[in-house]
Amino acid sequence: MSSLLEQLVDAFRVLPGVGQKTAQRMAYHVLERGREGGQRLARTLAEAIERIGHCEQCRDFSESAICPICASASRERQQLCVVESPADRLAIEYATGYRGVYFVLQGRLSPLDGVGPRELGLDRLGERLGQGEVRELIIATNSTVEGEATAHYLAQMARQHGVRPSRLAQGLPLGGELEYVDRGTLSHAFGSRSEVP
């Protein structure tokens, strides 16, 4: 059986990007200098795991059955933005003036990993699209192979329900120099070019 210290180090390794050395440093820091902070972290983590679930409408993280965005009367329900993760939703919320509502997939289509439409809640999304309130489905999936496949699937779903699908523009970053842009981004930007007005 492993010691309590080894169990603590191993517990930190569940976090993304945390390997053995980083987990060991975290454990030692908590034990040497941060016991109060460690206790607060443990209490908050236990409470969050117990109380935070998913919104019944958008699947984002929420402490209540309906999250504040879905419950807000000031949001435009004709626009529905589909994102892969709660972090993506947060990024859009902070960086744009978007006032519509969201649907959080909590992943992307990946048949090899056993992630299909059902795991992403697309049956629930289909029901929402079928209610007739949504006019535009804004597809904000990432530019990965799985993200593009998911975007294609979502666009087909939207059209089947008479909803206009749209996709976030992708390509060269503002202020970026061509020589420093990766080949895939440059190729996509070149292929998706539009006429200059």
**pTM > 0.85:** no
CATH of domain 4-51: 1.10.8.420
Indicate whether 115 pLDDT > 60: yes
Closest CA to 28 of 12, 46, 15, 16: 12
Cα gap 180→182, rounded to integer Å: 6
Does pLDDT of 21 surpass 80?
yes
Give the E-state strand segments of the chain in sequence order. Answer: 53-54, 61-62, 76-83, 100-104, 136-140, 164-167
For the chain, give every residue range classified as CATH 1.10.8.420: 4-51
Write down the pLDDT at residue 44. 95
The CATH number given to 61-167 is 3.40.1360.10
- CATH 3.40.1360.10 maps onto the chain at 61-167
pLDDT at 177: 73
Q: Using the 8-state DSSP alphabet, how is residue 196 labeled?
A: -
Annotate 48-70 with b (16+ C-beta within 10 A) or e (fewer): eeeeeebbebbbbbbeeeebebb
Assign 197 a pLDDT band (cuts: 50, 70, 90): low
pLDDT tens per residue across span 134-167: 999 999 998 888 988 999 999 999 999 999 999 8
Residue 96 — pLDDT band, cuts 50, 70, 90? confident
